[in-house]
């Protein structure tokens, strides 16, 4: 079986892989060697204990590597959280919920993209452009990075993968794969002087029901476009993406309380 090589290559709809197993393997392959083979970077310590059963501050360890000349950044955080908190995280990040039988269901594959508006501060607009029969969702995202920068516009293919259990390890895993969509800026925004940007990424969410250990791994390569030098983007992205973790737990506190 061929395995998707996740890169900055823009994809047309016809080029998207349709086999879920291939996508699972691609996501696992991208995240597998982060801790052991990628260059270890800074560990960010956030004074945030929301829902942490061990009452420890949130720590986010960053790593980096180069793949096909693209700079990749990864963040890894480990948490001790209750089952109900884990399930809420999956609702926001994957778009799944349990049905009456306790089974994971994903009623709308675009849900997780729409929910990002609730907890990503610089995300200003999400528009679902297309849902494919194979499960991919085309989304157009507008980010406001602060003046004097213009609005950054991203076109992404997003494929969320429902939780699956490894019976040998007892770990349940979910994945979200995002690829660059081969699409132009929206006609409705051309006159607004938006800047075209791109993002590719893999998120892996792992949970052990017995130990209540939750590991959140994210790998990404991106380009904000415009006049921001790539070296400067690479130097600052770790701090930016590390904040996503405490932001999520802050949002959970507002959402379910504690």
CA 46 distance to own-chain centroid: 20
pLDDT tens for each residue of 92-140: 999 999 999 999 999 999 999 999 999 888 899 999 999 999 999 999 9
pLDDT band at 256 (very low <50, low <70, confident <90, very high): confident
Helix axes 83-93, 111-119, angle to 10 degrees: 110
> Which domains are assigned to the chain?
13-256 (3.30.530.20)
Cα(130)–Cα(144) distance, integer angstroms: 23
Give the torsion sign (CA, 223, 228, 231, 237): negative
Is the pLDDT at 190 greater than 80? The verdict is: no
Task: Check if the beta carbon of residue 51 is closer than 8 Å to that of residue 81.
Answer: yes
CA 63 distance to own-chain centroid: 16
Q: Find the angle CA(139)-CA(160)-CA(209) to the nearest 5 degrees.
A: 145
pLDDT tens for each residue of 26-75: 999 999 999 999 999 999 999 988 899 999 999 999 999 999 899 999 99
Residues 6+ apart with CB under 8 A from 194: 142, 150, 151, 152, 153, 185
Average pLDDT on 176-204 reads 92
pLDDT of residue 121: 84
CA atoms within 13 A on the CB side of 1: 12
């Amino acid at each position: 079986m061929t395995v998707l090589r996740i890169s900055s290559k823009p994809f047309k709809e016809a080029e998207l892989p349709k086999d879920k197993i291939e996508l699972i393997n691609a996501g696992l392959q991208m995240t597998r060697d982060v801790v052991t083979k990628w260059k270890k970077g800074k560990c960010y310590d956030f004074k945030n204990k929301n829902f942490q059963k061990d009452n420890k501050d949130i720590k986010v360890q960053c790593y980096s590597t180069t793949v096909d000349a693209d700079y990749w950044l990864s963040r890894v955080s480990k948490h001790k959280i209750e089952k109900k908190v884990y399930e809420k995280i999956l609702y926001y990040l994957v778009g799944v919920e349990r049905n009456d039988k306790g089974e994971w269901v994903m009623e709308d594959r675009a849900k997780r993209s729409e929910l990002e508006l609730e907890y990503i501060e610089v995300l200003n607009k999400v528009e679902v452009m297309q849902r494919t029969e194979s499960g991919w969702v085309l989304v157009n995202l507008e980010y406001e990075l602060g003046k004097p920068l213009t609005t950054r516009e991203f076109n992404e293919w997003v494929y969320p993968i429902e939780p699956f259990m490894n019976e040998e390890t007892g770990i349940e895993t979910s994945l979200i794969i995002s690829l660059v969509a081969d699409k132009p800026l929206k006609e409705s925004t051309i006159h607004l002087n938006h800047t075209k940007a791109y993002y590719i990424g893999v998120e892996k969410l792992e949970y052990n029901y017995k130990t209540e250990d939750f590991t959140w791994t994210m790998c990404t390569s991106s380009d904000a476009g415009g006049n921001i030098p790539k070296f400067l983007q690479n130097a600052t992205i770790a701090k930016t993406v590390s904040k996503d973790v405490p932001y999520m737990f802050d949002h959970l506190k507002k959402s379910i309380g504690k």
